[in-house]
Structure 1
């Protein structure tokens, strides 16, 4: 089995939404290479980025480019 390198996994840009009163986890929204928008969650801001498997099954490397405070959500 050959392990994929970071060059083999496409990078996608994501928006992160900080937790607020009704949401305890960080929320993540990103457009996959398939064209669909996927959502994700994480317990901390540091664990939002990195390699993930999108809901459609594709492996993507997530780079957080925008962070919205709780008031904006």
Structure 2
């Protein structure tokens, strides 16, 4: 944009293209982040469930030996 002239059609289209590109990249990254967060949460719940099963199925000395090895 030069001086007090308005933007040309090409400049406006470039600005719109940049805006849409940033918007698409942002939405893609947020979708990927949410998907990974869901997977991590599921893995964490599985770990907690397995820890609960181990702690109730074995006595205290076996748990200590398992932790030390």
Tell me which interval the TM-score lies in, with the shorter structure as reference length: under 0.3
Question: Relative contact order, CA 8 A, sep 6+: which one is greater?
Answer: 1
Identify the structure with the greater helix proportion: 2
TM superposition score normalised by structure 1: 0.17
Identify the structure with the greater strand proportion: 1
